[in-house]
Amino acid sequence: MKKIKVLTGLCLLLCLGMAGEAPKEYPEQTIRYFREQQAVFAASTKALQLAISKYDVKDPATVEQAKHALKECRIAYKRISFFLEYFFVSEAYVFNTPAKYEVEEPYIEYEEPVGLQQIEALLYSGASKAALMQQADIVAETAAGLPALLYNFKATDAQVMESIQLELIRIQSLYITGYDAPSLQSGVPEAAAAMDALRNVVGVDSIRTAMTLAWTFLHEHEDFNSFDRLTFITDYAMPVQRMLSAMEATHTVRALNTTAIFGSRDPFKKETFTQGADITVDGRGDVLRNGDNSAPKIGYDTALGRQLFFEKRLSGNMQRSCATCHVPEKHFTDGMPQNKSLLGGFLPRHTPSLLYSTYQYAQFWDGRARSLEEQVDVVLHSPAEMGGTDDSITARMQMPKEKIIRALAAYIRTLTPFNSAFDHYLAGNRSAMTAQQQHGFNIFMGKARCGSCHFAPLFNGLTPPLFNRTEFEILGVPLTADLQHPVADTDRGRITVFPVTFYEGAFKTPTLRNAAVTAPFMHHGNFSTMQQVIDFYNQGGVTPVMHQTLSTDTLGLNKAEQQALISFLDALVD
């Protein structure tokens, strides 16, 4: 196993020294709470160790005891996760990283899966006791060493408040979807534990009261499949976010996290993302800031970009424009499995929508472009797509190529309408979505597990709470929609960009906004209906492939639930 590097308290002190502000009431209360709950968590890791030491894959009773101990351990962790995930990222990685190989780009290195999520994956796959004990030992040893992290620790009110806001995003977009524990399905009680932690460190009575209401709702409705996520988000979590955003401490410059979220830090509020749509980011999704830490505007002519979007002189044969494949009337898709290639035949992949593409930090299905500017440049010069050259583009348009590329990218960044029935519902219009669509959202975020890859509210692979990393998944999608006689896909996906085994057959997770009207689907465009897509996921894929990230568990969605799911996707159409 690759060695896990854990920051010591002394090392972290150097990282936090830049804060320069003496601890106030929030840091002191947070530290007291962390000390108390850390001891509880450490004890739970010991209990997990003991349960696994008695584990026998052939004895169902010992397996269930290990699962119960894991659930209790996970709940105990969520009482300190807001603190660790913000201030001590390395330790949080040990405890709660996804149960898959994490590739560190651009260095083509990887981290082996470790921690509680990996223990869950091993337990539910009938792994050996040795493999489980190895993980349990790592978790317990790291948990026991947590008190050392507080040596000379300092933080600011603003940092504590930001850690709380980010945890609220995790609760809404990750915990209640089962992202952390898909097999245990303990996401709701885990969310309750996290909410309980937040109300114990917030010092404002009105906010604590609102958090208590949210905690009560979670605590009283712990069943994973029946939990009303839409009501929880709109009636309990969003009001808390609004109250936190109004606090003075939340207006302080962020000292630890640079993030693609702007505005209110309420992920279900439209302005949170639209205020940042014209912010410049690098290929890793980090904001490129001015010297005073303000975020610079792009400053390019979006009107020119719109004009150029329909300009056929940009193509080598002057017969094709951007709008040829990204038709505005078709939600910036073309309605074809694959569009025609200028070299003859068809392009190898389906044309994705450009709507909300600014909220992806890797472009194309394989993520080979790190920005919209790079994507535009690649397409303009691709012999199969636009077939332009620097000389032809510059001469015909009488302007520098760089200006053209920047203007087109600037226009694409404006394609963020947030004008669906779902958006109107969240904005307060409770008649915007039908009862079936509301039920469909709860299916989407729960039993169907859609929300654990298509993260709300962008419904793409941008991972909460910072929304600054684009996820790639290996689904094992067959070449055709015939799931009874699956034919293996020959498209190797992202591995052709980064030659790492764990990218074989990996593709970017696209947004599901407008998916209901942008058939066909998948990277090859060979699924013609949404029902075919749901059938694929409902049976847990078809023939598993190496390093597949899609669970092979069947979802058990009945026809009514499938129809509700489809109905909800209609509510995501702008």
Q: What is the CATH number of the domain that holds 39?
A: 1.20.1420.20
Instruction: Count structural domains, the chain.
Output: 3
CB 192 within 8 A of CB 222: yes
> Taking residues 85-90, what's their average pLDDT?
92
Contacts of 59 by beta carbon, 8 Å cutoff, 6+ apart: none
* 236/45 Cα distance (integer angstroms): 31
pLDDT value of position 264:
54
Asked if residue 266 is part of any domain, the answer here is no
Residue 60 has pLDDT above 90, yes or no: yes
Alpha helices for 432-495 (secondary structure H) = 435-445
Residue 5 has pLDDT above 60, yes or no: no
pLDDT tens sequence across 315-338: 999 999 999 999 999 999 999 999
Angle between helices 60-78 and 187-201 (to 10 degrees): 30
Amino acid letter, residue 458: L
Range of lowest pLDDT (15-24, 42-51, 197-206): 15-24
Enter the DSSP assignment of 277: T
b/e map 363-374, b = 16+ CB within 10 Å: bbbbbbbbbbbb
Higher pLDDT, 210 or 360: 210
Residue 9 has pLDDT above 70, yes or no: no
pLDDT tens sequence across 516-541: 999 999 999 999 999 999 999 999 99
Among 412, 429, 463, which residue terminates a domain? 412
* 469/56 Cα distance (integer angstroms): 39
Same domain assignment for residues 515 and 536: yes
Same domain assignment for residues 538 and 441: yes
* 459/510 Cα distance (integer angstroms): 8
Among 394, 412, 430, which residue terminates a domain? 412
Place of tokens 């105990």: 76
Residue 229 has pLDDT above 70, yes or no: yes
Range of lowest pLDDT (16-20, 372-376, 426-430, 462-466): 16-20
Backbone φ and ψ for 297, nearest 5 degrees, come out as -80, 155
Among 412, 438, 473, which residue terminates a domain? 412
* 411/308 Cα distance (integer angstroms): 9
Alpha helices for 79-156 (secondary structure H) = 81-87, 89-96, 116-123, 129-144
pLDDT bucket at 428, cuts 50 / 70 / 90:
very high
Percent of the chain with pLDDT over 70: 85
Residue 222 has pLDDT above 90, yes or no: yes
Higher pLDDT, 424 or 158: 424
Q: Which residues pair with 96 in a beta bridge?
A: 115
Same domain assignment for residues 78 and 161: yes
Average pLDDT, rounded, for the chain: 87
Asked if residue 508 is part of any domain, the answer here is yes
Same domain assignment for residues 135 and 236: yes
> Taking residues 389-410, what's their average pLDDT?
93
Three-class SS state of 527:
strand
pLDDT tens sequence across 467-495: 878 889 999 999 999 999 999 999 999 99
Three-class SS state of 76:
helix
Asked if residue 281 is part of any domain, the answer here is no
pLDDT value of position 247:
77
pLDDT value of position 103:
67
Same domain assignment for residues 367 and 456: no
> Taking residues 434-459, what's their average pLDDT?
96
Task: Report the CATH number that the domain containing residue 538 is assigned in CATH.
Answer: 1.10.760.10
Asked if residue 27 is part of any domain, the answer here is yes
Q: Which residues pair with 346 in a beta bridge?
A: 340
pLDDT value of position 99:
72
Residue 533, CB half-sphere, CA atoms under 13 Å: how many?
22
Can you read off the two tokens belonging to residue 40?
């509880």
Same domain assignment for residues 360 and 391: yes
* 42/60 Cα distance (integer angstroms): 26
Q: Is 356 left (phi over 0), alpha (psi -120 to 50) or beta?
A: left
Contacts of 424 by beta carbon, 8 Å cutoff, 6+ apart: 432
Three-class SS state of 459:
coil
pLDDT value of position 246:
80
Residue 162 has pLDDT above 90, yes or no: no
How many CB atoms sit inside 10 A of residue 310's CB? Answer: 12
Asked if residue 4 is part of any domain, the answer here is no
pLDDT value of position 12:
38
Same domain assignment for residues 461 and 325: no
How many CB atoms sit inside 10 A of residue 20's CB? Answer: 9
Same domain assignment for residues 325 and 462: no
Three-class SS state of 1:
coil
pLDDT value of position 30:
93
Residue 429 has pLDDT above 80, yes or no: yes
* 572/469 Cα distance (integer angstroms): 22
Asked if residue 88 is part of any domain, the answer here is yes
pLDDT value of position 156:
85
Amino acid letter, residue 42: A
pLDDT tens sequence across 94-139: 999 887 766 667 666 667 788 999 999 999 999 999 999 999 999 9
pLDDT value of position 98:
84
Asked if residue 251 is part of any domain, the answer here is yes
Same domain assignment for residues 461 and 527: yes
pLDDT value of position 543:
84
**Of residues 65, 115, 63, the one with CA closest to residue 92:** 115
pLDDT value of position 388:
94
Same domain assignment for residues 311 and 375: yes
DSSP characters over 24-48: -HHHHHHHHHHHHHHHHHHHHHHHH
Domain of residue 227, residue span: 9-257
pLDDT bucket at 265, cuts 50 / 70 / 90:
low
Amino acid letter, residue 269: K
18-22, 299-303, 355-359, range with greatest mean pLDDT = 355-359
Same domain assignment for residues 359 and 384: yes
pLDDT value of position 287:
41
Same domain assignment for residues 67 and 109: yes
Answer yes or no: pTM beyond 0.75.
yes
* 259/554 Cα distance (integer angstroms): 35
CB 147 within 8 A of CB 155: no
Residue 352 has pLDDT above 60, yes or no: yes
**Of residues 171, 197, 175, 170, the one with CA closest to residue 187:** 175
Q: Which residues pair with 102 in a beta bridge?
A: 111
Longest dimension (CA), the chain: 76
pLDDT value of position 215:
98
How many CB atoms sit inside 10 A of residue 17's CB? Answer: 10
pLDDT value of position 544:
87
How many CB atoms sit inside 10 A of residue 144's CB? Answer: 15
* 139/180 Cα distance (integer angstroms): 16
Residue 427 has pLDDT above 50, yes or no: yes
End-to-end alpha-carbon separation of the chain, Å? Answer: 47
Asked if residue 276 is part of any domain, the answer here is no
